[in-house]
Chains A and B, each alone.
Chain A
Amino acid sequence: MAADVHKKSGDVLNGSLFPDDGQHAERSESPTPGLAQGTEPGAGQEGAMFVHAQSYEDLTSTDNPDATLQMPGDGEDVQADQTMIEEISKDFSELSTQLTGIALDLEEEIRQSKEDKLELSPQASRRDSVLSGKEEEDVAMDAWRMHQKHVFVLSEAGKPVYSRYGSEEALSSTMGVMMALVSFVEAQENAIRSIHADGYKVVFVRRSPLVLVAVAQTRQSEQEIAQELLYIYYQILSLLTWTQLNRIFQQKQNYDLRRLLAGSERITDNLLDLMARDPSFLMGAARCLPMASGVREIVSTCLQQAKAKSLVFAILLSNNQLVSLVRKKDQFLHPIDLHLLFNLISSSSSFREGEAWTPICLPKFNSSSFFSAHISYLEQDTDLCLLLISTDREDFFTVSDCKRRFQERLKKRGVYHALLEALHTPFYSVSKVGIPYLRHFIYKSKSSGLFTSPEIEAPYITEEEKERLLGLYQYLHSRAHNSSRPLTNIYYTGSHENLLAWVTNAFELYMCFSPLGTKAAAVNAAHKLMRWIRKEEDWLFILTPQTY
């Protein structure tokens, strides 16, 4: 079977992939000969672990990225829609000028209200900031305005639910204006998707009973920002369930949701930070911890054998990298749900003490009810975290016993030390691939929902540089996945680096080269890299996922 797979991939590599003409981002006219899904390097041999073919388009399919304003209905009369939209955009530009006016007035008002609040209850405000774990910023300061990306969540009554920077109270009037914008457009049977002005993108995502708004200065597309907002929405669902969220607002429209979300701000903050530097979210895939396949197989078997009736998923991870995942037969985890779990674990050090047992909703799996998650580190001073997801909230001791049995088996089979060894080298150097000028890459196998990526090395040393690199990938990704004009091959020449993107229905590959390389060399490098990934796939990926 392996030989067969190699042959197929060879066919593709010989195909004509890149047109010779053109300089910047451009589109291949020839249809890309794709690998059949499931045969690309990194594809699992026994099927996927995740919900199948989860692509970026599925995430944002409800949003039309091209229309700033879009009719919610089918829009039978295109002509009429067009005029309507023009009219509304006109209204909008007026509104946005009004908005700047309002913003200035608000400053005064906010400062006033903040002072009032301080006078009234200095104790309470201090406690709030301690609870949310962030230092409250003065929303009237320039520094507040300078942030790259603001995220606001509000209820349909215009009540603040979350703000990434600054206290929600101080922003309540601003959020009121946001809700007014949404309602204004809706009153004309329309929906506001985004405002583009002065280097800012203001993106709205409406998921009743919540409204999510981002104000971004990043290079991301509207689609990508909307996707991040959806992640925030799912994050809130994971704490409350969709059912509970809706019930609350049905009972009381102007409910202050912050009461129920108290203490979760840190999780949401962490999610936003993570999305800015971890390509997992962009790729809609999970990153595997590289590990000798023999070791991984034994670890997975140990995990599979420590089962209990109520267990649905068992996940072993280390620093947001997947080590092993066992699932109940016929049950698939969605990458978004996995990312939310990873984020939950990385956002809190409280799991390092004892064993946590917490209700959690996996919104893409089932948004109406809670699972019970058993979260614990294998040992206090390692980063190996075990996550056991059970359907029975009364089953703590049974699930806890699964952990004990897993640890016992690991030690008995003598792989525990090999496992710890693998943790020491969570990333490999790109020099291992042996391609000159290649600085970094991301390769995603679509059928397994897994991706691999080397360590980010010089010249991307500072956090800003790393985020800039991810920003470039984001740009390529958005060009490749633009729903009105998707691209399969992109070669991008920049002043600091050259980038190449290659997207087929089986895999996605993004490569970053030094600016001195040529396009022909980059195309060759892509082929060489694909061969290298094929050769190393059992070390880079989980090829034989286990089930209960």
Chain B
Amino acid sequence: MSGQRVDAKVVMLGKEYVGKTSLVERYVHNRFLVGPYQNTIGAAFVAKVMPVGGRTVTLGIWDTAGSERYEAMSRIYYRGAKAAIVCYDLTDSSSFQRAKFWVNELQNFEENCRIYLCGTKSDLLDDDRRKRGIDFHDVQDYADDIKAELFETSSKTGQNVDELFKKVAEDYVQFTSFQEMTEEKGVDLSQKNTPTYFYSCCHH
């Protein structure tokens, strides 16, 4: 698995116990492990190849630990990420506050990273609507404000999980083809004798 080329770096962020690992587990292995809660230590990397519109995209997914202990070094995990799946537990309003924190981090340090808000454990709401911790419309408004996609998933039933990652991969393809076009223009410019400061910057 390792050593292979990765197209898009995707980072999972969110408070501990919201189910980031379960989401990845469902997507990559299509399974849901029942058992005592195992918190992630540091971060786990896993790559998955996905077909998107006639080509394949390899997503390199960084499943980070939610513990505050790793917060200071979380940047190495999301630096250069093309997409961030910011998770919150649909039944836990504090986890949504934490999600907002991550969104701020990303907006400040990774402006090119696309944000996907993901409310997890939607199966818990199926049993009892009143368990919902944050109003759906509030979250939708927030998502619109930050120009993020919003998904509600259940790793237990698999609901919406593939759709979420499919959207991530499709957006990546669409976004990079657009970027390639703009970059080509940039290359044209730099063909001239004086390199722009962008390029001199890259050499340092």
Mutual binders A and B: yes
Chain A residues within CB distance 8 Å of chain B:
123, 127, 130-131, 133, 239-240, 259-264, 266, 344, 348-351, 353-360, 370, 373, 376, 393-394, 396-397, 400-401, 403-405
Cβ contacts A to B, 11 pairs, < 8 Å: A131-B37, A133-B39, A344-B41, A353-B21, A353-B24, A354-B44, A356-B44, A376-B2, A397-B3, A400-B45, A403-B2
Q: How many residues of B sit at the interface, in one of the four size bands?
A: 20 to 34
The distance from the CB of A15 to the nearest CB of chain B, in whole angstroms, is 50
Given known A130-B17, A348-B38, contact A396–B45 (CB-CB < 8 A):
yes
In the bound complex, what is the Cα–Cα distance between A401 and B47 (angstroms)? 14
- Bound state CA distance, A405 and B92, in angstroms? 44
Complex alpha-carbon distance, A348 and B66, angstroms = 15
Q: Are B45 and A261 in contact (CB under 8 A)?
A: no
Q: CB-CB contacts of B32-46 with A at 8 A, as 1s and 0s?
A: 000011111111111
Report the minimum CB–CB distance from B17 to chain A (whole Å): 6
Binary flags per residue of B17-61, CB closer than 8 Å to A gives 1, else 0: 100010011001000000011111111111000000000000000
Picked from B1, B42, B68, B92, the residue with its CB within 8 Å of the CB of A356 is B42
**Considering residues A266, A350, A393, A405, which has the most beta carbons from chain B within 10 angstroms of its beta carbon?**
A350
Q: Which residues of B contact A266 (CB under 8 A)?
A: 38-39
Q: Once bound together, how far apart are the Cα atoms of A329 and B39, in whole Å? A: 35
Smallest CB-CB separation from A370: which chain B residue? B73
Given contacts A401-B3, A403-B2, contact A359 B42 (CB under 8 A): yes
Digitize B137-152: 1 where CB-to-A-CB distance is under 8 Å, 0 elsewhere: 0000000000000000
B69 contacts A264, C-beta separation under 8 Å: yes
- Return chain B residues, CB-CB under 8 Å to A131: 16-17, 37, 39
5 pairs of A and B residues whose beta carbons are closest in the complex: A358-B42, A354-B46, A263-B39, A400-B2, A404-B3
B133, closest chain A residue (CB): A123
Enumerate chain B residues within 8 angstroms of A239, measured Cβ to Cβ. 69
Task: Tell me, rounded to whole Å, the shortest Cβ–Cβ distance linking B19 to chain A.
Answer: 12
From residue B104, how far is it (CB to closest CB) to chain A in Å?
20
Instruction: Give Cα A404 to B1, complex, Å.
Output: 8
Instruction: Give B9 Cβ to nearest chain A Cβ, in Å.
Output: 11
Residues of A within 8 A of B92 (CB): 123, 127
How far apart are A129's CB and chain B's nearest CB, in angstroms?
10
With the chains together, A354 CA to B42 CA distance in Å? 12
Whether A356 and B37, one on each chain, are in contact in the complex, defined by CB atoms closer than 8 angstroms, is no
Inter-chain CA distance A346–B40, complex, in Å, is 14
Query: Which residues on B sit within 8 Å (CB–CB) of A127?
Result: 17, 92
Q: Which residues of B contact A349 (CB under 8 A)?
A: 38
Q: Are the CB atoms of A260 and B69 closer together than 8 Å?
A: yes
Counting chain A CB atoms within 10 Å of each CB, which of B37, B39, B65, B67 scores highest? Answer: B39
Shortest C-beta distance, A111 to chain B (Å), equals 27
Residues of A within 8 A of B70 (CB): 358-359
Instruction: Report the bound CA distance from A264 to B42 in whole Å.
Output: 11
Given A131-B17, A262-B68; A350-B46 close (CB under 8 Å): no
A355 to B76, CA, bound (A): 15
A133 engages B69 (CB within 8 Å): no
Contact B16 A263 (CB under 8 A): yes
Chain B residues within CB distance 8 Å of chain A: 1-3, 16-17, 21, 24-25, 28, 36-46, 63, 65-70, 73, 76, 92
Given known A356-B41, A394-B76, A401-B2, contact A261–B69 (CB-CB < 8 A): yes
Residues in B neighbouring A403, C-beta threshold 8 A: 2
Determine the chain A residues whose CB is within 8 A of the CB of B3 once the complex forms: 397, 400-401, 404-405
CA distance A354 to B29 in the complex (A): 11
Q: Is the CB of A130 within 8 A of B37?
A: yes
Name A350's contact: one of B17, B44, B73 (CB within 8 Å).
B44
Establish whether residues A263 and B67, one from each chain, have CB atoms under 8 Å apart when the complex forms.
yes
**How long is the Cα–Cα vector from A350 to B45 in the complex, in angstroms?**
11
CB distance from B5 to the nearest CB of A (A): 10
Q: When the two chains form their complex, are residues A350 and B41 in contact, meaning their CB atoms are under 8 A apart?
A: yes
Cα of A357 to Cα of B46 in the assembled complex, Å: 11
A344–B41 Cα distance when bound, in Å, is 9
> Is the pair B63, A354 in contact by a Cβ cutoff of 8 Å?
yes
Nearest residue (CB) in A for B46 is A354
A262 touches B67 (CB 8 A): yes
Known: A123-B92, A130-B17, A351-B41. 8 other contacts (CB 8 A): A130-B37, A262-B67, A266-B38, A348-B39, A350-B38, A351-B44, A355-B2, A356-B41
Contact residue among B37, B39, B42, B68 (Cβ-Cβ distance under 8 Å from A259): B68
B41 to chain A, nearest CB (A): 5
Q: In this complex, what residue of A is CB-closest to B73?
A: A359
Q: Flag if A133 contacts B44 (CB, 8 Å).
A: no
* Chain B residue at minimum C-beta to C-beta distance from A261: B69
Q: Give the chain A neighbours of B2 by CB distance below 8 A.
A: 355, 376, 397, 400-401, 403-404
Known contacts A400-B2, A403-B2, A357 near B67 by CB under 8 Å: no
Determine whether the beta carbon of B40 is less than 8 Å from that of A350.
yes
Residues of A with C-beta under 8 A to B43: 356-358
CA distance A400 to B4 in the complex (A): 10
- B76 engages A353 (CB within 8 Å): no
Q: How far apart are A480's CB and chain B's nearest CB, in angstroms? A: 37
Check if A357 sits within 8 Å of B42, measured CB to CB. Answer: yes
Q: Which of A259, A262, A358 contacts B41 (CB 8 A)?
A: A358
- Cα-based distance from A348 to B63 in the complex (angstroms): 15
Please report the C-alpha to C-alpha distance between residue A360 and residue B66 in the assembled complex, in whole angstroms: 16
A274 to B66, CA, bound (A): 26
CA distance A179 to B36 in the complex (A): 33
Across-interface contacts of B36 in A (CB, < 8 A):
133
**Nearest Cβ in chain A — how far from B139, in angstroms?**
20
Q: Which residues of B contact A359 (CB under 8 A)?
A: 42, 70, 73
In the complex, which of the residues B2, B38, B41, B70 has the most CB atoms of chain A within 10 Å of its own CB atom? B41
Give A163 Cβ to nearest chain B Cβ, in Å. 18
The closest CB in chain B to the CB of A398 belongs to B3
> Looking across the interface, which residue of chain A has its beta carbon closest to that of B72?
A244
Q: Which chain A positions have C-beta within 8 A of B66?
A: 263
Instruction: List, in ascending order, chain B residues with CB within 8 A of A123's CB.
Output: 92
Determine how close the nearest CB of chain B comes to the CB of A376; give it in whole angstroms.
Answer: 8
Q: How far is the CB of B198 from chain A (nearest CB, A)?
A: 22
Contact B37 A262 (CB under 8 A): no
Given contacts A353-B46, A357-B42, A358-B42, contact A240 B69 (CB under 8 A): yes
Min CB–CB distance A180 → chain B (angstroms)? 29
B23 to chain A, nearest CB (A): 12
